[in-house]
Amino acid sequence: MGGTPTQSCVDALAPGGELVFGALGRFALAPSALETMFAGNQSVRGFSLLPLLTPANVHADLTALFDLAVTGGLKVVHGGSNRLDQAAEAHRALEERRSSGKIVLIP
C-alpha cells in the first residue's frame, strides 16, 4: 500500500528494518523521511508485478499451480462460513483477526 499510510509504516519500522513496497506508483514519502530512515539504517525496497506477467511466466506459474491442485499439494485453510446476510460479521472477523484462513460466504 502507499499514499497517506506510507509515513505510518516508516514510523513503525524498527532500526535496521526494511520497508517493502509492491505499489511503487503510490509511494509517497518526503525526502526528509528518507534521510531519517538512512540515519536509522533502514531501507526501502520496491517491486512491480507487471514486468513479471509475461505469457511464458503466467503459463509456467498456472501449470505449476494446477499440478499442485491435481496432486493434492495445495492446502486451503477454511476459516469459517457465513450466510451472505452475515457478510458484515465475516468482514469484522477478518478485520479483528478472529479468523484464520478463507471465510466462505454462502448465498
21 pLDDT higher than 70: yes
pLDDT, mean over the chain: 87
Contacts of 10 (CB under 8 A, 6+ apart): 19, 29, 33, 36, 37, 42
The answer on 74 and 60 residing in a single domain is yes
Residue 1 lies in a domain: no
Are the CB atoms for 23 and 1 separated by under 8 Å?
yes
| pTM of the predicted protein model | 0.45
Whether residue 57 is found in the same domain as residue 73: yes
Q: Which pLDDT value is given to residue 59? A: 95
Q: How far is CA 22 from the centre of its chain?
A: 8
Residues 39 and 59 in one domain: no
Same domain, 32 and 71: no
8 Å CB contact between 88 and 105:
no
Using DSSP's 3-state secondary structure scheme, residue 45 falls into: strand
Looking at the structure of the chain, the number of domains it has is 2
